[in-house]
Amino acid sequence: MSTTSMGAGAGRKQFILVTEHYVDERGDKVFQKLAGQSDPHQYEAQDQRLVELMNRLIPYAEEYLDADERVHWAIHAWDAKRINTQALGNGTVLIADQYSQNPDLSDDDLALIIAHEMAHIIRHHPQEYYSWKYLISPVLFASSFLTSGAVSIAASAGQDVYGIGFKHSAEKEADLLGLEIYAKAGFDPANAMSLMRKIQPLYTQDHPVASKLPKWLQSQRSFKSREKSLKKYQAKAQSLYAQHQQKSSAHLIDWDFKQHEQITQQHLAEASHGFKYLH
Ligand SMILES: [Zn+2]
């Protein structure tokens, strides 16, 4: 299948064999495993901030969904051992508290991290990843047993390189689509560069081994190549940002205070529960 025709990475052929139900269930399990360890009270104040940022992004993220598609967006800070974020197939974004509680990261920085994870969900990357990891990869591994010598080595090297190749293209898609959503929601896409520079030392410090592996063995794209592709995409993102600025100044004229108040109340009510479905 291929995902919707809009936005960065659109139209790429995707190899998806697991059902959405499978990814939903798997997402719930991962969530329980990870968030179960954290103390919800400790993160209450942070969650409110994350919920507000995600709520700003949701209407623009949903422009990229198919007409009949519905995502139950949710966000949670998580007591991770290493700096990390995760997009679960069930619509949940998990953000390590090393990010959400880092005083050097502004709301604009966190919003871009969230937009990147939302882009993974829009593009069904968790589903694609599980298809590869649990269905395709074992088949290739088994077939390498049936062959011998060089063929066998080539087959197993191939599956690693393919797996990493998939992750790199998924990461690139999430970076660019995330930037589009971010710009449309009224955040300045120029922030992407400074965020990369802030995150790189944090990542290298928390992942000393992974960050020293040769490029083709790293499951994360290098910061250099991420910066390069984000830079290339700046002009497009800036024009989306400018369009948003024009629209929002038009909104100032007929701003509906009553409706705004209602939405704010609704968000506050949702945020007062420990774990929130935003829709
Ligand atoms: Zn990612």
Distance 148 CA to ligand 1 centre (A): 36
Report which of 208, 9, 161, 170 is spatially closest to residue 86, judged by C-alpha positions: 170
| Dihedral of the alpha carbons of 262, 121, 24, 65, in degrees to the nearest 10 | 60
How far is the centre of ligand 1, averaged over its atoms, from the C-alpha of 175 (Å)? 7
User: Three-class SS string for 218-270?
Assistant: CCCCCHHHHHHHHHHCHHHHHHHHHHHHHHHHHHCCCCCHHHHHHHHHHHHHH
Does residue 258 surpass a pLDDT of 50?
yes
The tokens describing 136, both together, are 């395709």
Ligand 1 centroid from CA 249, angstroms: 33
Give the distance (Å) from ligand 1 centre to CA of residue 152: 31
Write the pLDDT tens digit of every residue in 40-57: 444 445 578 888 899 999
- Residues with a beta carbon under 5 angstroms from ion ligand 1: 171, 174
* Residue whose pair of structure tokens reads 């929002």 in the numeric block: 248
Ligand 1 centroid from CA 86, angstroms:
7
* Contact assessment for residue 98 and residue 202, using Cβ atoms and an 8 Å cutoff: yes
Residue 63 banded pLDDT, cuts 50, 70, 90: very high
Q: What is the pLDDT of residue 119?
A: 95
Say how many Å lie between the CA of residue 116 and the centre of ligand 1. Answer: 6
Helix and strand numbers, DSSP H then E, in the chain: 11, 3
Query: What's the 165 CA to ligand 1 centre distance in angstroms?
Result: 13
pLDDT at position 48 is 82
The pLDDT, as a whole number, for residue 271 is 46
Centre of ligand 1 from the C-alpha of residue 171, in Å: 5
The answer to whether residue 277 scores a pLDDT higher than 90 is: no
Distance (angstroms) between ligand 1 centre and the Cα of 251 equals 33
pLDDT recorded at residue 249: 65
C-alpha 170 – ligand 1 centre gap (Å) = 7
- List residues bridging with 112 in a β-sheet: none
- Rounded distance from Cα 117 to ligand 1 centre (Å): 6
**How many angstroms separate the CA atoms of 7 and 5, rounded?**
7
Q: Using the mean position of ligand 1's atoms as its centre, give its distance from the Cα of residue 37 in Å.
A: 23
Are the CB atoms for 83 and 203 separated by under 8 Å?
yes
What's the mean pLDDT in 248-263?
A: 54
Give CA–CA dist 99/109, Å, rounded.
9
Query: How high is the mean pLDDT of the chain?
Result: 74
106: which 2 tokens? 């502004």
Instruction: Tell how strand 74-78 and strand 92-96 pair up.
Output: parallel
Q: What is the predicted pLDDT for the residue at 275?
A: 38
Average pLDDT over residues 167-191: 94
> Helix (H, G, I), strand (E, B), or coil: what is residue 2?
strand
Stretch 132-152: mean pLDDT:
56
| Cα(62)–Cα(212) distance, integer angstroms | 37
Coil vs helix vs strand at 76 = strand
CA of 113 to the centre of ligand 1 (A): 9
Residue 273 pLDDT exceeds 50: no
User: 167 CA distance to ligand 1 centroid (A)?
Assistant: 8
Token digits of residue 247: 């629209």
77: confidence class by pLDDT, cuts 50, 70, 90 = confident
Q: Any idea what DSSP says for residue 146?
A: H
Kindly tell me if the per-residue pLDDT of 184 is higher than 90: yes
CB-CB neighbours of 77 under 10 Å: 24
Please report the pLDDT score of residue 234 as a whole number: 95
Contact 94, 76 (CB under 8 A): yes
Ligand 1 mean position, distance from CA 121 (Å): 10
